[in-house]
Structure 1
Amino acid sequence: MRRGLRVPMDDGVELLADLHLPVGAAEPRLPTVVVRSPYGRHGSLTHAPALAGAGFTVLVQSCRGTGGSGGRFRPQLDEQRDGMATHRWVRRQPWFTGTVATYGESYLGYTQWAVAGRMCRDDPGNAPDALCLNVTMADFGAVTWNRGAFSLAGSLGWSRRMALRGMRGALVRAWLARRPDRKLAEAFDVLPLSHGDTAVAGHPIAWYQDWLAHEKLTDDYWTRQSHTASVPDVTAPVYLATGWYDIFLPWQLRNYAQLAAAGRPPRLTIGPWDHGSEQSPFLAESIAFLKEHFAGAPATRPAPVRAFLTGAQRWHDLPAWPPPGTAARRWYLHPRGRLDVAVPNGGSTGYTYDPDRPTPALGGPGLAAGPVDNRAHERRADVAVFRSPPLGHAVVLAGEPIARVRFRSTAASADVFIRICDVHPDGRSMSVCDGIRRVGGVGTAATDPRPDADGFVELEVPLWPAFHRFAAGHRVGVQVSSGAHPRYARNPGSGAPAATAATTVRAHQEISHGGAHPSRLDLPVWT
């Protein structure tokens, strides 16, 4: 190892990096692997020792303002310019092996998307020659404000952890990380939201304030750090890995679809994992992927896509995602909690949402996530539940379900949260996937549908992608509620900016089963 290499950026700031060199004779055809991280250079997240042990030359760099690197850390904002400068610098070094691959997960994956498309288009001679991306996406704004709802637990929790990284002493940080974070739990309930960072860290956190101040994803703050538009410009081979319970799953699969539409489908693995899972084969599959492309190693996959079918607990090798043969099947929400393929005759279902006692989050994507039994949750008065008859044969869900709900609220702003569950014969109601959509918010004003003559709006709510088998005799369950706090910050109901809203409005919500387009769910079914 060579520690503390100083890599100059275009503005003169130097970023620190460590170089891992394989012991003995290196395989000359293998690429130099570049890993850029805000979490330090010595943790297990970089996988640098294992990559070097497999024969790769590996450079691990601390992002600006982290791990001793110069400058100020501004999440996402500087990764493109710093990443491009780093790639140019790597190719001038005497230890450079002739090609470059990028590697990493979560934020480490975002740093790859930040440079790849732009450099492939504008600077192909210095662009990465392959990308290995795990549980990540090209636009963190979209997950921060998911269809108008603020991802409170993830955003404030991550900001809290990054603040802890600034504390002196690894033992202090480790001790705090093992304890229940009571201060964070209390901060989730603070209103206005702009006071939450002070409650948890003792001071405002600059980027957290920026996130809250920009509810509109069309703001320049977000558009200049989004790299979704440049994904189709990536010409290098790409390997993607993700999990059905990962926080970035929908967007990562849309990035896959962008490259597939451009004629360059990536290799893809989707397993029964959450964002922090240690079961993902990302490291081993990345090494195999890179050795196939650069060293002529034999292929290790019979098909480009490998996906785990939940409910059946088995893997499938597929030519593409979603798999060929998938078609939408429409199910309607009926009065008295029925879910059926028949069109309803009218009526409505109502419930009351109280932001002072918000509907709690139960399960869903995240760290240590997976299917959760919703039986007790479904007995809440602020959760409307719909169930199909027992299925006469197995049904396989494969893709991104879309709910279209005719909805109205007595509040100026409201959220619609939809969850699909697999209802077992013994009564268990196990979560499969879910999604949220806000109406009447600052960030949704430009896309909110107009109310009809009865005050209903038809809201389209894409749910998390899924690959799940509902067994014969099971039932499809659907929940409709108005929140999942603190996974998403509760909607106060006033329509005021989320950062400053402190007044709450108790609201009556109503789901219509009539009209030209009754409330329904389009399920992508694989046959």
Structure 2
Amino acid sequence: MQARVHVQWGVKIPLRDGIHLSATLYRSPAHCDPKPAIFTLTPYIGQTFHDQAMYFASHGYPFLTVDVRGRGDSEGAFRPFIQEAQDGQDVVEWLAQQAYCNGRVAMWGGSYGGYNQWSVAKLLPPHLATIVPVAAPYLAVDVWMRNNICYPYLVRWLTLVTGRASQDKIFWNDEAFWAEKFRLFFESGAPFKTLDSALGNPSATFKEWISHPQQGDYWDQFNPRPEDYSKITVPILTITGIYDSDQPGALMHYRRHVQNAPHAPHYLVIGPWHHAGTRVPQRRFAGTEVGDAGMLDLQRLHLEWYAWTMSSGPKPSFLRAPVAYYVMGAERWRYAGTLDAITAESKPLYLSSRGVASRIDGSGELISEVGNGAEDEYLYDPRHLGCAPLEASLTDPLCLRPTFPTENLRDQTRVYAMEGNQLVYHSAPFDSDVEISGFFKLTAWIAIDQPDTDFGVSVYEIDDRGSSLLLTFDCMRARYREDLRREVLVSVSKPLRYEFERFTFVSRLVMKGSRLRLVIGPLNSIHFQKNYNSGGVVADESIEDARTVKVKLFHDSAHPSALYVPLGQPEFAGPETSRLPEVL
């Protein structure tokens, strides 16, 4: 069937300012009458999505791969993210007028292509019938920083989209090259603001972005505002993954839309996938393996969605409820009415120790009652190279960066290498199987003796054989402990309350005999911007500004530090199962 698709290169799409975008049009001669049309707007050169275009065209939908302004054969200058809204709106309205289109237009795409869909939808093009944003980032939430902590990865991405031609080979296929580049820069102690030049690609975009180090008006211009979300009423299907590096952004868009447009049709799918797997699910990635049910045919789901929303087809049978989520370990799908309804209860496990939580064996504990005893502490010297050589050696083409602090979900090498310079707490073994589904939260009472520092917090499952699986991760820069839009340097030595509330979503059936491991430590990694703890402008600081910080974590009755575990909803089989078992 795909052999009968007609391909037309060099289609020119006029924009309101006289610029023309270049597109490739895919059509099936077997479907001659006007049909709903689909397009993707991409900076990655349209040929990247040839296979997807052939698939949809062979099923009767005219499909266009459109190079964004300034990339490929499109005219104009490329400015990442800022130009796509109006340009995409113009593409929608132009496409609706073509003879092969019946006036109904949809968008397709993941990552940058998912972001574009939200950007276009906020302008309410009259002929936009539906969007399917996949792994859609939300700028300043997961791109190009998380919780106001920048990623060196952004320079790598800017190299991919520099100029008009594709730089895909150096970007996608040479993980070791980039790891070594990041390691050398990390070890140099140079200011973060020089990273682009150090990597050989001086970038005005990089300099502009790092000059806005916190969430605020600058970053707000890239994302829909509440009033924009409230007006978007077209059907939406959001797709993300448990280990998708853009999961925080995808779920931010989802939450803000359903909050501001509660009656708009919006479905959410959270699968057992990493970033690339949200387009094509992969059986194995990052040291873990996905069951048969997780290998969902996402192209088929898209096709059924477009048929339902634009061609009077039946509702996709997979979408049994507004939210579908995959329970890893159980290897099956479950459903809920809302994202929050996935979690039945957040159960607190209180941190406790005898002052020796810096060790993995004989660590601190996670217990059901408020902890007591001496506080725990570690020292962090930013001049220490930490695990830089180790991280550079653990390269993986299916890496999870930048959202997760590892490239292998089951590897414990970094945790053990950091022993003595972090705090570790373990729960008792679970006395029965339990589904953990939702968002962890950590309340920690912490004192530091410097104006600022960065924390990384990871939660792992440790099974009864000692094998480890990273479940979720969060991070925080101390100066933003109160508000990501306002910095407040630490000026007191007493313990302050830190709320880690931005963990990634996880859903997993944890088996009897397994336990949880909580690790709290410095964010001293080649994959994150280094904070030298002095309280200055982080991008301007170098190793010359470095200060050693002493971190103390308290867990007594006056300072009840606790990890809140999201327990999944029970599956009722009758009245006798109407309450949660006491498993933690």
TM-score, normalisation: structure 1 = 0.89
Which amino acid in the other structure matches residue 102 of structure 1? Answer: M
1:43-54 to structure 2, matched below 5 A, reads 43-44=48-49, 47-54=52-59
Task: Return closer, same or farther for 1:403/1:414 CA change in 2, 3 Å cut-off.
Answer: same
Answer yes or no: is the 8 Å Cα contact 2:429–2:514 preserved in 1. yes
3-state DSSP class of the match of 1:47? helix
Q: Letter of the aligned partner of 2:527 in structure 1?
A: R
Q: For the Cα contact (< 8 Å) 1:416–1:483, is it kept in 2?
A: yes
Report which stretch shifted further, 488-497 or 292-301: 292-301
1:158-211 deviation line (CA, Å, top 9, x unaligned): 123224x756xx7x85377433213354345552111111122x2411211112
CA separation of 1:228 and 1:386: change in aligned 2, threshold 3 A: farther
Alignment-derived partner of residue 149 in structure 2? 149
- Cα 1:141–1:304 change in 2 (3 A) is closer
Structure 2 Cα separation of the partners of residues 492 and 109 of structure 1: 35
**3-state SS in 1 of match to 2:432:** coil
> What is the alpha-carbon distance in structure 1 between the residues aligned to residue 89 and residue 171 of structure 2?
36
Q: Is the 8 A contact 1:270 1:307 kept in 2?
A: yes
Q: 1:369 to 1:273 in 2, by over 3 A?
A: farther
Q: Which residue of 2 aligns with 1:355?
A: 382
What is the alpha-carbon distance in structure 2 between the residues aligned to residue 270 and residue 320 of structure 1?
A: 12
C-alpha displacement at 1:107, in angstroms?
Answer: 0.2
Stretch of structure 1 that moved more, 107-116 or 508-517 = 508-517
| Structure 1 residues 44 and 90: alpha-carbon distance in aligned structure 2, compared to 1, 3 A threshold | closer
Q: C-alpha distance in 1, partners of 2:213/2:481?
A: 6
Question: Which segment is superposed worse, 502-511 or 264-273?
Answer: 264-273
Could you tell me whether the CA contact under 8 Å between 1:246 and 1:365 is conserved in 2? no
1:102 aligns with 2:99: no
Secondary structure of 1:270's aligned partner: strand
Which of the residues 404, 407, 415 maps onto 1:377?
Answer: 415
Residue type matched to 2:134 in 1? Answer: N
Structure 2 counterpart of 1:137, which letter?
P
Give the structure 2 partner of residue 62 of structure 1: 67
Alignment of 1:498 with 2:538, yes or no, is yes
TM superposition shift of 1:2: 2.1
Identity across matched positions, percent = 22
- Tell me the equivalent position of 2:515: 475
Give the one of 390, 393, 412 matched to 2:429. Answer: 390
Shift of 1:524: 1.8
Is the 1:113–1:227 Cα contact (8 Å) retained in structure 2?
Answer: yes
Distance 1:215 1:140, change over 3 A: closer
Q: How much does 1:445 deviate?
A: 7.5
Return the offset for 1:249.
0.8
Contact 2:451 2:489 in 1 (8 A): no
Residues 397 and 467, structure 1, Cα contact 8 Å, conserved in 2: yes
Cα 1:284/1:366, change in 2 over 3 Å: farther
- In 1, are the aligned partners of 2:85 and 2:116 still within 8 Å (CA)? yes
Q: Which residue of structure 1 lines up, in the alignment, with residue 288 of structure 2?
A: none
What is the CA–CA distance in structure 2 between the aligned matches of 1:506 and 1:374, rounded to whole Å?
A: 26
Structure 1 residue identity aligned to 2:169: A
Secondary structure of the residue aligned to 1:469 is strand
Which AA in structure 2 matches 1:51?
A: F
1:450–1:457 contact (8 Å) kept in structure 2: no
Q: Which amino acid aligns with 1:354?
A: D
Secondary structure of the residue aligned to 2:253 is helix
User: Residue type matched to 1:403 in 2?
Assistant: L
Question: Residue 465 in 1 paired to residue 505 in 2?
Answer: yes
Query: What is aligned with 1:244?
Result: 242
Quote how far apart the aligned CAs of 1:143 are. Answer: 3.2
Provide TM-score, normalisation by structure 2.
0.81
Counterpart CA distance in 2 for 1:312 and 1:377 is 27
* Residue pair 1:274, 1:365 contacting (<8 A) in 2 also: no
Find out whether 1:421 has 2:460 as its counterpart: yes
One-letter identity of the residue aligned with 1:500? D
Residue aligning to 2:92 = 87
Q: Is the 8 A contact 1:449 1:458 kept in 2?
A: no
Secondary structure at the residue paired with 1:227? coil
Q: Which residue of 2 aligns with 1:412?
A: 451
With over 3 angstroms needed to count, the CA separation of the structure-2 counterparts of 1:451 and 1:412, relative to structure 1, is: closer
One-letter identity of the residue aligned with 2:382:
P
Q: Is the 8 A contact 2:478 2:489 kept in 1?
A: no
Post-superposition shift, 1:67?
0.9
Unpaired segments ≥5 residues, structure 1: none
The answer for the alignment partner of 2:476 in structure 1 is: 437
Match for residue 341 of structure 1 among 368, 374, 394 = 368
Report the equivalent of 2:551. Answer: 509
In 2, distance between residues paired with 1:79 and 1:444? 29
Describe the shift of the 1:45–1:345 C-alpha distance in structure 2 as closer, same or farther (beyond 3 A).
Answer: farther
**Residues 136 and 236 of structure 1: CA distance in aligned 2, closer, same or farther (over 3 Å):** same
Match of 1:321 in 2: 339
- The 1:292–1:445 alpha-carbon spacing in structure 2 relative to 1, beyond 3 Å, is closer
2:152 and 2:111 map into 1 onto residues whose CA distance is: 18
Does the CA contact (< 8 Å) of 2:131 and 2:236 recur in 1?
Answer: yes
* Alpha-carbon contact 2:138-2:252 (below 8 Å) kept: no
Cα offsets for 1:331-350 (capped at 9, x unmatched): 11112411112111253111
Query: In the superposition, relative to structure 1, how do residues 173 and 418 fare at CA in structure 2: closer, same or farther (>3 Å)?
Result: closer
Q: Does structure 2 conserve the Cα–Cα contact (< 8 Å) formed by 1:401 and 1:524? A: yes
Counterpart mapping for 1:136-285 below 5 A? 136-139=136-139, 142-153=142-153, 155-163=154-162, 174=169, 177-179=172-174, 180-181=176-177, 182-190=180-188, 191-200=190-199, 202-220=200-218, 222-227=219-224, 229=226, 230-261=228-259, 262-277=262-277, 278-279=280-281, 281-285=297-301
Cα distance in 1 for partners of 2:386, 2:223 equals 31
For the 8 Å contact 1:240–1:268, the answer to whether it is kept is yes
Report the 3-state secondary structure (helix = DSSP H, G, I; strand = E; otherwise coil) of the residue aligned with 2:424: strand
- Structure 2 unpaired stretches of 5+: 1-6, 282-295, 355-363, 571-584
Q: What amino acid is the match of 2:326?
A: F
Secondary structure of the residue aligned to 2:350 is strand
Read off the aligned partner of 2:194 and give its amino acid letter. Answer: H
CA distance in 2, matches of 1:421, 1:49: 41
The residue matched to 2:473 in structure 1 has which SS?
A: strand
The letter of the residue matching 1:111 is N
- Code of the residue aligned with 1:196 in structure 2: it is L
Amino acid at match of 1:73: F
Closer, same or farther: CA 173–223 of 1 in aligned 2, 3 Å? closer
